[in-house]
Amino acid sequence: MCLAIPGRIIEIPPDSQDSALVEVVGVRRKIDLGLLQDDPPVSGDWVLIHVGFAMSKISEQDAADQMSTLRMLGEIDGAMQEVQGYGVEGEKEDVSDAGTYESEMPGVKVN
């Protein structure tokens, strides 16, 4: 629950500025942007995600660092389980699990 998971915003649907499709090491899920309405992110931005809500914008380097912290903490599996869990059974919009979660971030191995 206290995990902060870094993800990259892939797409913000034009009809709903309050949500975005994010990618976290190969897994794509919809998250809520409502808590960043004062400084809305755009596609390509990195955010820290907490219980399905983007909490803060961060740099790409910080995102890679945060992923490596999660790895060191032994929390990668928990984080990926959380991200894969966003959405409810039967209504997982925008699901496109790229199979295993291969890291696309430089220098970050996820396993």
Interface residue list for other proteins (CB under 8 A): 1-2, 4, 31-32, 34-38, 48, 50-53, 55-56, 58-59, 62, 65, 68-69, 72-74, 81-83, 85-88, 90-91
Q: Which is nearer to other proteins, 25 or 83 (CB)?
A: 83
First to last CA, the chain: 20
Q: How far is the CB of 68 from other proteins (least distance, A)?
A: 6
Q: Token pair of 9, please? A: 């915003």
Q: State in angstroms the smallest separation of the CB of 39 from other proteins.
A: 8
Nearest to 11 by CA among 25, 3, 21: 21
85/52 Cα distance (integer angstroms) = 9
